[in-house]
Amino acid sequence: MKLIRTFILLAVIAGGLGYLTKPSEADVDAKISETIAQAIASGDVDAARDPALALVLLTCKSNQSTCAQILKSGIETRVDDRLVYTSVDVQGFGHRATCYGAFTQFFCPGGLQK
């Protein structure tokens, strides 16, 4: 009987911590902006064979914040705030992903899909 009480207490504590530390919609937006900024910073301008694309990538590298805002406007997100976690559906530029946020972290099983 004591084991069952201990298990129930741990489950309640874990649920409470999950509720208190689940990412908010602002956290989702910040993570998307951070991911876009990392993609821009690691993009290889020389890898683009199309001169117009190379120019866009070069522009993105020189002014990352403006480029990130433009790219972010092409991404559709749906945030579903659950009791102890946050579900996020992201779609844009021919890719989509479903991610889950819990304990201040995001997890995207399956990664980006076409």
At residue 98, the pLDDT reads 92
At residue 87, the pLDDT reads 92
Query: The pTM is what?
Result: 0.69
Q: What Cα–Cα distance (Å) separates residue 96 from each residue in 22, 25, 70, 76?
A: 22, 18, 18, 9
Structure tokens at 44: 């290889």
Give residue-wise pLDDT tens across range 80-99.
988 888 999 999 877 888 99
Give residue-wise pLDDT tens across range 3-40.
899 988 888 888 888 888 888 889 988 888 887 777 77
Pairwise CA distance, residues 31 & 103, whole Å: 14
